[in-house]
Every structure is written in C-alpha cells, then in structure tokens.
Amino acid sequence: GQNIDQPTEMTATEGAIVQINCTYQTSGFNGLFWYQQHAGEAPTFLSYNVLDGLEEKGRFSSFLSRSKGYSYLLLKELQMKDSASYLCAPMDSNYQLIWGAGTKLIIKP
Amino acid sequence: DAMVIQNPRYQVTQFGKPVTLSCSQTLNHNVMYWYQQKSSQAPKLLFHYYDKDFNNEADTPDNFQSRRPNTSFCFLDIRSPGLGDAAMYLCATSRPGASSEQYFGPGTRLTVT
C-alpha cells in the first residue's frame, strides 16, 4: 500500500531552525512535493524534489533520498508566520499526489 | 492575476439537500482536481480531469459527482449531503507532468445541518 509518515506536531522557537521529516512508500515515484497550509486556508506550494539531494529556496530547503524513501523540509530563521501545517506529498507512478496528514508547526516567541 | 476561484467560500446546507460547489481558473491549466479535507487530515482526492477526460477515484462515494463543462470551470455536486460530508472542499489546477505543482483555490467550507 501507499503510506506517508510525518510527525503530527512540532514546536520551535522564533529565529531557530526546524527539520520536518517525512518517510513514504508509494507505487512508483515521480518526485515529492512539500506544501504549506495555514489554518483554514488552502495549501501553497513550497518545493519539489525528484533527484536525491538538497534543494534550497531562501529560508526553506528540502532534501530527498529516494533509496531510503525519505525527505525533510528544513526551515531556517523561523518567523511567527511560519506557524502552519507542512504537508509531504510524493507523486506515484500514476502522477497522483499521495498526501500526508501534515505536521503542525507551532512557533513560540 | 491568474488564479483559482471558488464560490462560495462558506456553504451551509441541510441534511439531504443537494448542493453544488463551483471552481473557476484563469491559469488555463489542463488538469483540475477536487479534494475533500477534514480537520487535521490529508486532502482526499475525489475527482480529477485531464481536459474533459474524467477520472473518478475508486473510493469516492456515489453521492459525489462532478462536471467540467469547459477548461475554466468545474463543479462538485453533492446529491444528498450527510453530516459526514461536512469538510473543506478544495479545487486545484495544474499543468500535466510530474514536476507541475498544484495551484489551489481558497476552498469552500461546507457545513451540513
């Protein structure tokens, strides 16, 4: 079956760094997406990885290891506005996103 | 600005009373999606279209139907809403292809009384 595993909730301090991990099992693989979703709002795209390694985009970076079925999202210089859920979504062989339930990130001053 | 628009943002319907949610896009994307998302859960794909080619997910209840009359518009019909259908309904669009991100509308929050 297809499965996504990410922590339900994490807490971090403003200005710090946090790493949100995601492990996945899918039928085939066509890359992995990370989305940010603020409470009551729609998801917005953060990153896409299809090859192994780290992709950096400003304060956010995303890492992929296809052999391990593992990805992480790294958020630096945390700001209060980063309080949101972060959804890991690998794409299977049918080009369908398999969504995780998300990690709720709470930022404290 | 190019975007995905959903109307209404909040919809209240009575148990068993049919309701239609609408989505429009100005991105001219081939692919459109309808998702259902309940609190603290993953978005659940209900339907998707590649142009007018309709794809019904295997576990989408028969109570849900969809129409895409043209590239820009897509509708979600709930024939007989139950209390369990209360959720956020998200419309998204994308270009075809693996690396294409999905662009989401703001969602319609459905309440069933």
Please tell me which residue of chain A has the smallest CA distance to B50: A95
Would you call B98 an interface residue with chain A, using a CB distance cutoff of 8 Å? yes
The pLDDT-based confidence of A2 (bands split at 50, 70, 90) is: confident
Query: Tell me: the pLDDT tens digits for B74-108?
Result: 999 999 999 999 999 999 999 988 889 999 999 99
Is the pLDDT assigned to residue A63 strictly greater than 80? yes
B-facing residues of A in 2-61 (CB < 8 A) are: 4, 30-31, 33, 40-45, 48, 50
Would you call B40 an interface residue with chain A, using a CB distance cutoff of 8 Å? yes
Would you call A95 an interface residue with chain B, using a CB distance cutoff of 8 Å? yes
Q: What is the pLDDT of residue A10?
A: 98
Which residue in A24, A35, A97 has the most chain B C-beta atoms within 10 A of its own C-beta, making it the best mutation to test that interface?
A97
Could you write out the three-class secondary structure of chain B? CCCEEEECCEEEECCCCCEEEEEEECCCCCEEEEEEECCCCCCEEEEEEECCEEEECCCCCCCEEEECCCCCEEEEEECCCCHHHCEEEEEEEECCCCCCCCEECCCEEEEEC
User: Is B107 in Cβ contact with A48 (below 8 Å)?
Assistant: no
Chain A contact set for B92 (CB, 8 A):
42
The pLDDT-based confidence of A1 (bands split at 50, 70, 90) is: confident
User: Is A97 in Cβ contact with B99 (below 8 Å)?
Assistant: no
Cα of A31 to nearest chain B Cα, Å? 7
Cα–Cα dist A45/A42, whole Å: 10
Cα of B80 to nearest chain A Cα, Å? 25
Would you call B39 an interface residue with chain A, using a CB distance cutoff of 8 Å? no
Query: Tell me: the pLDDT tens digits for B1-56?
Result: 769 999 899 999 999 999 999 999 999 999 999 999 999 999 999 999 998 888 88
Cα–Cα dist B97/A95, whole Å: 7
* Average pLDDT across chain A, whole number: 96
User: Is A50 in Cβ contact with B98 (below 8 Å)?
Assistant: yes
Q: Strands A84-90 and A32-37: what pairing? A: antiparallel
Chain B contact set for A101 (CB, 8 A):
40-42
